[in-house]
Structure 1
Amino acid sequence: MKKLVLIVCSLYWLTPLAQAQTGTYKGIGTIVFEAGAPLSLIKGTSEAANGLIDLETGKFRFDVPINSFQFLNSLMHERFNDKYMQSSRFQKATFVGRITEKGPVSAKGEAKVTAAGILTIHGVAQKRTISGTLVQKGNTWQLVTDFPVKLADHHIQAPRLSSGYGASTMNVSLKMPLEPAEPEPQQIIAIKKFSFR
């Protein structure tokens, strides 16, 4: 009888941990991009990045509406959408793929991850491998990552800086809380269709 009670208690305490590391999670996060030197910085921020990840299979999908980025002034916002990103035509940037490596969860609740997939910006798809960190908080996770994007890889005209030179690379950072959730049917279809070759 004592053994049975011990087993039940063990299962009770282990269940939340197991749930925290498997299943479908989704969230809305903040994505920031910066281009140029500090004195001629172009910076955009969006709080409308959507994420869906299946921690059992490692498959994921992240996207952000291009016109959701906010800037220091309206002129920069207009040029970004009309001249550089053509957001009326290319409405979203997406990253669809699979987690290929996941390290152990540290004492701080952090796990290093590597993801491989297809990054599509400005209608141009590129294979990318991106590293990040998953931070566990109870039965939720937070994804933190930053990576460079070469504008030429996605056929984006380099914006002119005040120095007279063009910014050829964007530095992108993402912070997204992920909570256990049942995905919408269309999200399930999109994530199941993914194949990385």
Structure 2
Amino acid sequence: MRQLTLLLAIFFLSSTHVLAQERFFTRTGHIWFFSDAPLEDIEAHNRKAASILDVGTGDMVFSVPMKEFEFRKSLMQTHFNENYVESDKYPKATFKGKVINIQVVDLEKDAAYEVRVKGVLHIHGQDKSIDTVGILEVKAGRLFGKSTFTVTPQEFGIKIPRLVRNNIARQIDITVDVVYEPLTENSLQLW
């Protein structure tokens, strides 16, 4: 939690924009991943992703607690946390990036806008550059964000034992689905 607070403080101090309607946040972002493997599909959901988006600059940060991913089978969750992502050693994943074409988003007009997001995803002590497209939808003063991209365990130094290699797909689809609320000084106190 201390690292999240530090990350958010750096984000706020590095920006010179007014706090009003340019910044949006969530603490309940939904992130899930899906692995289509020959023996068994693996899917896990996490509804505790924190994120801030500055629509003035396009700056975006995410913090995702790894132990909050919930699996269909408890044994999968145990293996995920203990053997693969080592959640005690690497308790969170982070993303720090930018919506490259943020200027297409008109906060005054309810509509869906295709955006391009670039940044660095940090999982299991490893960094990977991400360049993907997504949708930001303005609706009734809120922002709805959605994107899907693909990663591999190897990109993050996650080793898959030979015994279970066929149980885990070589590529994993990650989906991000968030509802951003306007960030105010009062909501900052909640962090």
- Residue 22 of structure 2 is matched in structure 1 by 23
- Residue 4 of structure 2 is matched in structure 1 by none
- Residue 153 of structure 2 is matched in structure 1 by 151
Q: Could you say if the C-alpha distance between residues 159 and 184 of structure 1 is closer, same or farther in structure 2, counting changes exceeding 3 Å?
A: farther
Structure 1 residue 169 and structure 2 residue 171: aligned? yes
SS in 1 for 2:87: coil
Contact 1:84–1:159 under 8 Å retained in 2:
no
User: 1:73-152 alignment to 2 at 5 Å?
Assistant: 73-102=73-102, 103=104, 109-152=111-154
Contact 2:21–2:183 under 8 Å retained in 1:
no
Contact 2:34–2:172 under 8 Å retained in 1:
yes
Contact 2:149–2:175 under 8 Å retained in 1:
yes
Instruction: Say which is worse superposed, 176-185 or 47-56, in terms of deviation.
Output: 176-185
Q: Could you say if the C-alpha distance between residues 163 and 127 of structure 1 is closer, same or farther in structure 2, counting changes exceeding 3 Å?
A: closer
Higher alpha-carbon Rg: 1
Q: Could you say if the C-alpha distance between residues 89 and 130 of structure 1 is closer, same or farther in structure 2, counting changes exceeding 3 Å?
A: same
Unaligned runs of 5+ in 2: 1-19
Superposed CA RMSD in Å reads 2.5
1:26 aligned partner, one-letter code: F
Contact 2:39–2:167 under 8 Å retained in 1:
no
Q: TM-score, normalised by structure 1?
A: 0.75
Task: Give how far 1:73 is off.
Answer: 1.4
Q: Could you say if the C-alpha distance between residues 159 and 25 of structure 1 is closer, same or farther in structure 2, counting changes exceeding 3 Å?
A: farther
Task: Give how far 1:156 is off.
Answer: 1.0
SS in 2 for 1:88: coil
Unaligned runs of 5+ in 1: 1-20, 188-197
Contact 1:31–1:175 under 8 Å retained in 2:
yes
